[in-house]
Amino acid sequence: MPVLRWRWIAVVAAAVAVVTGALLWLFLTWSGRPDAPVRIDAVKTAFGVGAGAGGVFALWLATRRQRTMELQLAETTRVAGVTERDLEERRVTELYTKAVEQLGNDKAPVRLGGLYALERLGQDNPKQRQTIVNVLCAYLRMPFAGPPDGLRGRSAAELSKTPEYDDAELQVRLAAQELLKTHLGHDEPGYWPGLAIDLQRAVLVDFRLSGCTVAAADFSRATFLGAVHIRGTTFTRQAGFYGTEFTSTANFDRTAFAEGAFFSWAHFAKEVRFTRTRSGGRFQFSHTAFDAEVLFDGGEHADIDLGDARFGATPAAVPATDEV
């Protein structure tokens, strides 16, 4: 039903008046007796018909007015909703921009504030989560010269002998790594599902990603300083570790690579565990260097390739290819 317009109301009102007048004239003309009672009855009849037509018109008018008010209310609500969404998007954009600007600050506490501002933004706005994870990964891909052997398990005396590096920046990067683990951990209260991470060429210190679920991950040519713990993690898509450098122990126990993983040309300087791992796609270690012990026992792999891999220690259990 179209919106009520006063021009049409006037037209209908005039039509009712004309019809009423015409009926009155007809009754007066067609009445055979010119005496007053007959004419009075004719007038009553004509006005009765006119009143009925007027009632119908009033009902129609009320219906039109109600529909007009409903349409106006709906339009007002729509405009208010659009305005509210615009304001919310503008607020999110402003918060995001400010947080990213904080990450570029030369003071570490300000950069930390930017990280946690991004986390709060992602917690409140699920649509922004992948973008925020992308920013965290981009920050970790920035050049950094960290402690060669990581930090865990080292005394203050040992750390004092470590070559110079930016300790304040290290704390910011450790916080960024911890945020990734917190929101990729499938048993964590703040789990953000369905996210991918891109840490190509990143320098990662004492990296932990245990108990997480990641849609896709690329660590190609990354450098892991200190121990790496990626236990009980699920990569729902292919994971990339091409040319990755592991300077200390690495633990992939019970990790599932749904579409396989590439460790080609990677270098493991110390012991690495692939015990009880599962891979549904190609599990490739061509030209991979294992300087210390490597454990594969208990794994299930659709297609594993150790061609041209170099072993500095005899592997405890080199797996055969099994169907998952």
Residue 112, SS3 per DSSP: helix
- Other CB atoms within 10 Å distance of the CB of residue 238: 18
Task: Pull the structure tokens for residue 297.
Answer: 């026992």
Closest CA to 182 of 210, 141, 223, 218: 210
Nearest 5°: the CA angle 248, 228, 261 is 110
Tens of pLDDT along the chain (324 residues) come to 444 455 655 666 666 666 666 655 555 565 555 555 555 565 566 556 556 666 666 776 677 777 777 777 777 776 666 566 666 678 778 888 888 888 888 899 999 999 999 999 898 889 889 999 999 999 999 988 766 655 554 444 444 455 556 788 999 999 999 999 999 998 888 899 999 999 999 999 999 999 999 999 999 999 999 999 999 999 999 999 999 999 999 999 999 999 999 999 999 999 999 999 999 989 999 999 999 999 998 888 888 888 888 988 544 444 444 433
Task: Pull the structure tokens for residue 103.
Answer: 């990450």
Q: Under a CB-based contact definition with an 8 Å cutoff, are residues 239 and 217 in contact? A: yes
The pLDDT score that the predictor gives to residue 205 is 92
**Burial (CB count <10 Å: 0-12, 13-18, 19+), residue 88:** exposed
Cα dist from 77 to 24, 243, 291, whole Å: 48, 56, 68
**pTM higher than 0.85:** no
Cα–Cα distance measured from residue 97 to residue 180, given in angstroms and rounded to the nearest whole number? 20
